[in-house]
Amino acid sequence: MQQQQPLLELGEGMDELCPLPSVSLWSQISKFQTAAWEEFKRKPISYWILLLLSSSAMLVAFPASSILSRVYYNDGGTSKWIISWVAVAGWPLTALILFPTCFICKTFPTPLNLQLTLAYIMLGFLSAADNLMYAYAYAYLPASTAALLASSSLIFSALFGYLIVKNKITMSIVNAIVVITFAVVIIALDSSSDRYGNVTDSQYIMGFVWDILGSALHGLIFALSELVFVKLLGRRSFHVVLEQQVMVSLFAFIFTSIGMIANNDFQGMVSEARVFEGGKASYYLVLVWSAITFQLGVLGGTAMLFLSSTVLTGVLNAVRVPITGIAAVILLHDPMSGFKILSLVATFWGFTSYIYGSSSASKDFP
């Protein structure tokens, strides 16, 4: 018995150094379920229905729009202007949502002045250019590759947000920038494995460059839009964001329509429909659903920002990248090499780091 005493003392010392967890895993799960249930009861059922619809719109509509853009080129479409025009042709759908929102909230649209109008015109022009760049990317790149490269817009959003809006950049965001850049480099090194047979080396490089430039311009548009809220609108609410989306899309639609007219692409739709695989009905269905899905994705993203948080919206943006890649592999038989899978994992890691850094910055600056 005397020999067992040191062992008992040693055991007590180990308990002090390595205390047993006071709360079991099941207790933690139970607490989480209780907190989730309390949060669920705190909000009306209509809130959760809207949250479900908005998140579904982001996770389904955006990937569907990307897939349809690639289907257009796979089945005989050739025009870059048509795809960029389709991206903003659905702007009346957002306007149809805006007017009832103003009526329900008993608010009037923000009065237009010269400065605000010029800001909308500039953002509309940049959006039209951005859509055209992405159209070139989808013309020459597989949908999965184009979606992965487009994730680099997070890098430019962080940089332009820091330079223009003075947003904070944390070490987690810096890590995200490095990781996503690494993912883009991986795709560049593996370019020979996912190139379509009818795409030349110069066209593939052009699609790669236009995708990165489009991502950079997208980041600039995001920062400038935030600046418009801060400097010109002075308030941030759901209907105000819808107002901006409608006006920017309207001017982008006007600029893209001018490009369509100059390039004779409205007449070109008729000739493209004749040779389109599946016939005229398939051709116009692809264009119509491309316009609808893109606008539904925009509406879903806008609603998520105000129903939940920027962090949750960022999570959904991160999730839709692999969804687009997997859908492209299944539906379009996109090649999926080991390098592309590694790039996909790195991109998801970068998104996670960015979301964590953005969450930390928002806590530091409420």
Kindly state the average pLDDT of the residues 79-103.
88
Q: Which residue reads 């982001």 in tokens?
A: 58
Q: What is the pLDDT of residue 234?
A: 67
Burial pattern 173-184, b for ≥16 Cβ within 10 A else e, equals bebbbebbeebb
- Cα–Cα nearest to 350, from 142, 175, 99: 175
> Is pLDDT of 365 > 90?
no
Kindly state the average pLDDT of the residues 230-254.
81
Q: What is the pLDDT of residue 185?
A: 78
Q: Which residue reads 């409205």 in tokens?
A: 266
Q: What is the pLDDT of residue 80?
A: 95
Could you tell me the pLDDT band of residue 312, with boundaries at 50, 70 and 90? low
Kindly state the average pLDDT of the residues 292-319.
73
Could you tell me the pLDDT band of residue 213, with boundaries at 50, 70 and 90? very high
Kindly state the average pLDDT of the residues 283-297.
93
Q: How many CB atoms lie within 10 A of CB 31?
A: 11
Q: Residue 173 and residue 155: Cα distance in Å, rounded?
A: 9
Q: What is the pLDDT of residue 186?
A: 77
Could you tell me the pLDDT band of residue 15, with boundaries at 50, 70 and 90? very low
> Is pLDDT of 359 > 70?
no
Could you tell me the pLDDT band of residue 191, with boundaries at 50, 70 and 90? low
SS (H, E, C) 86-150: HHHHCHHHHHHHHHHHHHHHCCCCCCCCHHHHHHHHHHHHHHHHHHHHHHHHHHHCCHHHHHHHH
> Is pLDDT of 71 > 70?
yes
Q: Which residue reads 């890649």 in tokens?
A: 325
Q: Could you give the percent of the chain with pLDDT greater than 90? A: 31
pTM for the model stands at: 0.79
The 3-state DSSP class for residue 332 equals coil
CB 248 within 8 A of CB 124: yes
Residue 186 phi/psi, 5-degree rounding, is -60, -45
Q: What is the pLDDT of residue 130?
A: 93
Could you tell me the pLDDT band of residue 28, with boundaries at 50, 70 and 90? low
Q: Residue 237 and residue 105: Cα distance in Å, rounded?
A: 11
Residue 347 or 210, more confident = 210
Q: What is the pLDDT of residue 137?
A: 93
Tell me the C-alpha to C-alpha distance, in Å, between residue 54 and each of 47, 49, 91, 305.
10, 9, 17, 10
Per-domain residue ranges of the chain: 52-153+196-335
Q: Which residue reads 């013309």 in tokens?
A: 139
How many residues does the structure list for the chain?
366
Contacts of 49 (CB under 8 A, 6+ apart): none
Q: What is the pLDDT of residue 6?
A: 46
CB 238 within 8 A of CB 302: yes
